[in-house]
Amino acid sequence: MISIIDQDKKLNPIQKKLAIIAIKLVLANYKIAITLISCSDKYIKKINKEQLNHDYETDIITFQYDDHKEKIEAELLISLDTVNANSIIYKTSLDKEFIRVVIHGCLHTIGYNDKTKTEIKEMRKAEEKYLNIMFPVEL
């Protein structure tokens, strides 16, 4: 089951469909209960501070509730403000950056981390693998 909560009504139907496809692609080998929540920088900063004691905005926070190997239950909280800003910084389309962040959150649920240089390199490699499937040509 995949649920999408669009707090600020900023996701378009294509982005919602792409997000569902990306989640199913990355988590194809698992039973899933994923809730994707799109929100603002203000909201994600509030949650980041309350839950993780980090006083800053971020593109995604992944909360995993079930760490069984065969089932993934998680929330992906995504700031569309930060995703939009990052798409400009990294000179990529908003849709592609949004899906990169969705993939990133899904990878966290299956054990990928991004604390060390080695972990970041592995995370980026996996992100690119799935992005290349979702976006085989540059738009």
**Close Cβ partners of 56 (under 8 Å, ≥ 6 residues apart):** 45, 48
Q: Which percentage of the chain shows pLDDT scores above 90?
A: 83
Residue 138: is its pLDDT beyond 90? no
Residue 28: is its pLDDT beyond 80? yes
- Report yes or no: 129 and 26 within 8 Å, Cβ to Cβ: no
Token duo for residue 104? 């990133």
The 10s digit of each residue's pLDDT in 8-23 is 899 999 999 999 999 9
The 10s digit of each residue's pLDDT in 74-128 is 999 999 999 999 999 999 999 999 999 999 999 999 989 999 999 999 999 999 9
Task: State the chain's mean pLDDT as an integer.
Answer: 93
- Report yes or no: 24 and 2 within 8 Å, Cβ to Cβ: yes
Output Rg (C-alpha) for the chain, integer angstroms: 14
pLDDT at 70: 73
Question: Residue 67's pLDDT band (boundaries 50, 70, 90)?
Answer: low
Question: Taking the model in full, what pTM does it have?
Answer: 0.92
Architecture of domain 2-134: 3-Layer(aba) Sandwich (3.40)
